[in-house]
Amino acid sequence: MITYGAIVLMLIGNLFYAYRCIFQTREYIEQYGFGEGSAIMTRLVGTFAAGFAIVLAIALLTSIEGAWLLFAYGAIQAIVGAVVCYWTIHSHWGSVKGIKTSAEGYLAPAIIAVLNIVVLATGKDLLFITQS
């Protein structure tokens, strides 16, 4: 049950960011002061979140059996995202005039990383099936 709960939380989180980046682009850009030129990259990030959410939904509707690589990728990508965002916020880029930084930039991917790791740990019997 913990495994599926963590997957649902990741699905919801990714859908939230996908929606914000793709369909509320202007509001998202204004919230953080990214500037008009960031629309393409903001929406691109939204497509990654949407893609992961769609794959998670498919996994929930079919089976997570043998799908360890999906969650390993999710954990690795989210860890890299958290580290890079933390590093960026605490560098020159985090103090650019007009930019409104937030710990959300590294906390959200850190939470997604933890949830992926929870799925890998609690769902290992389903995820790591060996062929006999």
What digits encode the pLDDT tens for the residues 85-107? 999 999 999 888 888 999 999 99
pLDDT at residue 130 tops 90: no
CA distance 5 to 11: 10
User: Distance between CA 82 and CA 84 in Å, rounded?
Assistant: 6
The alpha helices in the chain, defined as continuous H runs, are: 2-23, 25-32, 39-61, 68-89, 104-122, 124-127
Sequence spans of domains, the chain: 2-127
pLDDT of residue 26: 96
- pTM listed for this prediction: 0.92
Q: What is the pLDDT of residues 5-17, one digit of tens each?
A: 999 999 999 999 9
The rounded distance, in Å, linking the Cα atoms of 35 and 60 is: 37
